[in-house]
Amino acid sequence: MSWGITTKTKPIIKLISISFNRLSRDDIDSIVLIEQQNSHNPWSKNQLIESILNPANLCYSISMKNKIIGFLMAMRTLDNADILNISINKACQGKGYGNKLLHYLIKELKDRMISQLILEVRASNQAAIDFYLKHGFEEISLRKNYYMNNSKHPNQKEDGIIMRLKF
Ligand SMILES: CC(C)(COP(=O)(O)OP(=O)(O)OC[C@H]1O[C@@H](n2cnc3c(N)ncnc32)[C@H](O)[C@@H]1OP(=O)(O)O)[C@@H](O)C(=O)NCCC(=O)NCCS
């Protein structure tokens, strides 16, 4: 005799393939699009290429099903690294991909004996500030009027907040 269990809810198995890769010049068109979606003052194509090609930089993409959905660029100094840019495709934001990409960078930095990350963020970019605070960054200083173009008031300057994470 066999026993069967019937249920109205079926198990849902979600297989989402996420991968991380070193950015190359060939990725430029994908990341230009993401950069333009997300920034009031987007980096130009040339600035993005220069950053990818700079040997001091660690530049990674996060892809879902082989399509780039975000990127991160960091610059190595002696025993620090600075986040220069992090951006996730708008449609994919708030789903944990920025978190995965940041953790990937931290793993790569630990492998290189780097134990501190620094960044600068516009004072108006509350979503990014919340993202960094959630990951343990602390505010360490303020650069008054650092940005020429305020993202909300175009004729005013904007403060930059310096944040640091030790790991
Ligand atoms: C900042 C950014 C990289 C975060 O990546 P993400 O994939 O959206 O973030 P995650 O889903 O991994 O992390 C979510 C956390 O970030 C914060 N966050 C992300 N988007 C947010 C939003 N729109 N509003 C408020 N908080 C937000 C929250 O703390 C959130 O935690 P919660 O889900 O528990 O509320 C991404 O939103 C982005 O590309 N923004 C535009 C570019 C940018 O501002 N870059 C930073 C320049 S310094």
pLDDT digits (tens, 9 = 90+) for 108-123: 999 999 999 999 999 9
Probe target for ligand 1 pocket from 51, 90, 131, with the most ligand atoms within 8 Å of CB: 131
Q: What is the mean pLDDT of residues 57-75?
A: 97
Residue 90 domain boundaries: 17-25+50-114
End residue of a domain, out of 96, 114, 132:
114
Q: Which atom belonging to ligand 1 lies closest to the Cα atom of 95?
A: 11
How many domains, the chain? 2
Q: Which atom belonging to ligand 1 lies closest to the Cα atom of 134?
A: 29
Positions marked catalytic? 120, 132
- Considering the domain architecture, whether residues 148 and 66 belong to the same structural domain is answered as no
pLDDT of residue 118: 98
Answer yes or no: is 99 within a domain: yes
- Considering the domain architecture, whether residues 108 and 123 belong to the same structural domain is answered as no
Q: Which atom belonging to ligand 1 lies closest to the Cα atom of 94?
A: 11
Question: Using an 8 Å Cβ cutoff, are 121 and 82 in contact?
Answer: no
Answer yes or no: is 44 within a domain: no
Answer yes or no: is 159 within a domain: yes
- Sign of the C-alpha dihedral computed for residues 100, 55, 68 and 132 taken in this order: positive
pLDDT of residue 37: 95
CA 129 to ligand 1 centroid distance, Å:
8
**What is the C-alpha separation between 124 and 35, in angstroms, rounded?**
18
- Of the candidates 80, 84, 72, the one whose C-alpha atom is nearest the C-alpha of residue 114 is 80
Percent of the residues in the chain that have a pLDDT greater than 70, as a whole number: 90
Domain of 77, CATH number, reads 3.40.630.30
The per-residue b/e assignment along 119-134, b for 16 or more CB within 10 angstroms, e otherwise, is: bebbbbbeebbebbee
- Considering the domain architecture, whether residues 110 and 125 belong to the same structural domain is answered as no
**What is the C-alpha separation between 76 and 147, in angstroms, rounded?**
23
Q: What is the mean pLDDT of residues 24-31?
A: 98
Residue nearest to atom 42 of ligand 1 (CA): 87
- Considering the domain architecture, whether residues 144 and 105 belong to the same structural domain is answered as no
pLDDT of residue 11: 54
Residue 3 has pLDDT above 90, yes or no: no
